[in-house]
Amino acid sequence: MAVSMGAYRTTKASRARLGADWPSTPTLEGACLPAVRRALLGKSLPWAPMAAAVCVLLGLASGCRTSCDDAVDGPAERVTSGLTDAAGSVYESVAWDGSYHEFPPQKRYEFVHGLRGVPRLVQTFVSFSETPFARENGNISEAAGNEVIFEGVDATSIRVRNDTCETFYLRVAASAPFDEGAAGAAN
């Protein structure tokens, strides 16, 4: 169970306020965190444990809401315009040099892939440009961390969500499971 209280940040000043016994690893900064820290460090005021408990309960009550200003909330947008080869073995949501799907914070997509089964391999790519290869300095990379969260992969679709506070442009590629007849013949 995770409670979101803000962005990670650490400074010499914040470590100095906490005392030398506080770890020098990145810490969460937020409205409730000083009371939580004091309660954990034993440097608490009489009300600090109660304040920490209230903050945790408030965090749990907020559910899975995001702190992103431009977050998109709602059901997955269904995408049926991708490219699948005639054999049903390779899917692309958009060609490499095409216009990628805008992927704002918390946006969900359901890509209908048309493959002959549950994809064996799914790759996701993100860019800060809608058409990353149309510009001389454009680029793209494979998604990492929570840039693309897989919410489901089955025989008809791939469901993803942007779990960051950043807007990206998304490309999805997938390959079908092996054709058992062809795989057996190769052995």
Rounded Cα distance between 127 and 140, Å, is: 5
Average pLDDT over residues 5-14: 43
Q: What pLDDT digit, counting tens, does each position of 34-62 carry?
A: 555 555 555 545 655 565 565 555 554 44
Contact call for residues 169 and 138 (beta carbons, < 8 A): no
- Cα 88 to the chain's mean position, in Å? 28
Contact call for residues 165 and 106 (beta carbons, < 8 A): no
Contact call for residues 38 and 19 (beta carbons, < 8 A): no
CATH 2.60.40.10 fits 77-179, yes or no: yes
Rounded Cα distance between 176 and 58, Å, is: 44
Q: What is the pLDDT of residue 72?
A: 76
Listed range (87-96, 97-106, 133-142) with the worst mean pLDDT? 133-142
Q: What is the pLDDT of residue 177?
A: 81
- The structural domains of the chain, with segments of one domain joined by +, span 8-61, 77-179
